[in-house]
Amino acid sequence: MIVRMAKHGTESLVPLIEIRDATVFRGSTRVFHHFTLNLEQGCNTAILGPNGAGKTTLLKILTRELYPVVRDGSSVQILGDKRSDIWSLRSQLGIVSSDLQYEYADAARGIEVVLSGFYASVGVWGHQGFTDDQTRRAEAILRELAMDSMANRTYGSLSTGQQRRLLLGRALVNDPPSLLLDEPTTGLDLTATFQYLETMRQLMSDGRTLVLVTHHIHEIPPEIRRVVLLKDGEIFADGDKEAVLTGQNLSALYEQPIQLVQKQSWYQAIPG
């Protein structure tokens, strides 16, 4: 079990996010228009879609890095709260993304990477004090993730997989009930991928909610119940994994013949 400070029940949970009729731009690109989606806490969800479909944009709405255009009838509610209290939000949503991996400060030591989760910063700075409790918690997380030997190594000197595990530790330091993972296994070898998948499964069985964005069908763990397919900023299909993950749906989503193979609650896509 990954170190928990409190067990999060799933009873009477407010939705993770409720997006109503939102229009969202990135630069001059209109990614979403009249977009509506709810994600529930307690329901592990995978989001799939071609490059440019809007997956990362959706996660950035969740983390309040992006806001919809203000319009009557349009709203985004995160964890039941219309206020943009970014700090309390960050303690409730842990995030790991490739963007973060590239932006992260090379000089930070392993333990500092994990500690930086308390401030949601990319590195630690002189003015950021850490309590003994916080340091102990960061050390416990490093141990749990089998990363204790990396505590004093600089981030820039680590492999992609090691960096990704540290960033997971950073996301876990606040003991968030929900985690958003944007292509968490990109660039990882098979061993590191399977290790990461095992950790993801452990997090879900400990009661955390995962929202997973991935291109790899074979990396959708059995615990994921809901799948949302996005295409060109619209919901292409959404529902129970078994209903949504079909060769027919994926062939239409990616506009090429795809077959799905299923084994022991895992899936694999092959050319159709």
Ligand X SMILES: Nc1ncnc2c1ncn2[C@@H]1O[C@H](COP(=O)(O)OP(=O)(O)OP(=O)(O)O)[C@@H](O)[C@H]1O
Q: What is the contact surface with Mg ion in residues (CB under 5 A)?
A: 55-56
The site partner of 207 among ligand X, Mg ion, none (C-beta below 5 to 8 Å per kind) is none
Nearest C-alpha neighbor of 22 from the set 10, 14, 34: 34
Q: For residues 45-79, b (16+ Cβ closer than 10 Å) or e, as one string?
A: bbbbbbeebbbbbbbbbbbeebebeeeeebebbbb
The site partner of 52 among Mg ion, ligand X, none (C-beta below 5 to 8 Å per kind) is ligand X
The site partner of 49 among ligand X, Mg ion, none (C-beta below 5 to 8 Å per kind) is ligand X
Classified as helix, coil or strand, 225 is coil
Tokens of 10: 């799933």
Least distance from C-beta 53 to ligand X, angstroms? 4
Q: Collect all residues with Cβ–Cβ distance below 8 Å to 243 and sequence separation of at least 6.
A: none
Tell me if 97 contacts ligand X by CB under 6 A. Answer: no
| Dist. CA 14–CA 77, nearest whole Å | 10
Least distance from C-beta 59 to ligand X, angstroms? 8
Residue among 63 and 134 whose Cβ is closer to ligand X: 63
Least distance from C-beta 98 to ligand X, angstroms? 8
Binding-site size, ligand X (CB under 6 A): 12
Scan residues 41-70 and list those touching ligand X (CB under 6 A): 49, 51-57
Tell me if 71 contacts ligand X by CB under 6 A. Answer: no
Tell me if 162 contacts ligand X by CB under 6 A. Answer: no
Residue among 54 and 169 whose Cβ is closer to ligand X: 54
Tokens of 132: 């003994």
User: Which H or E run includes 235?
Assistant: strand 234-240
First to last CA, the chain: 39
Please, are residues 158 and 166 in contact by the beta-carbon 8 Å criterion? yes
Residue among 56 and 185 whose Cβ is closer to Mg ion: 56
Q: Figure out which of the listed residues 9, 14, 29, 65 binds ligand X, where binding follows CB under 6 A.
A: 29
In the chain, the amino acid numbered 2 is I
Residue among 18 and 183 whose Cβ is closer to ligand X: 183
| Dist. CA 178–CA 157, nearest whole Å | 29
Tell me if 31 contacts ligand X by CB under 6 A. Answer: yes
Least distance from C-beta 56 to ligand X, angstroms? 3
Tokens of 114: 């994990």
Classified as helix, coil or strand, 234 is strand
Q: Figure out which of the listed residues 1, 14, 26, 125 binds ligand X, where binding follows CB under 6 A.
A: 26
| Residue whose beta carbon is closest to Mg ion | 56
Residues contributing to the site for ligand X (CB under 6 A): 26-27, 29, 31, 49, 51-57
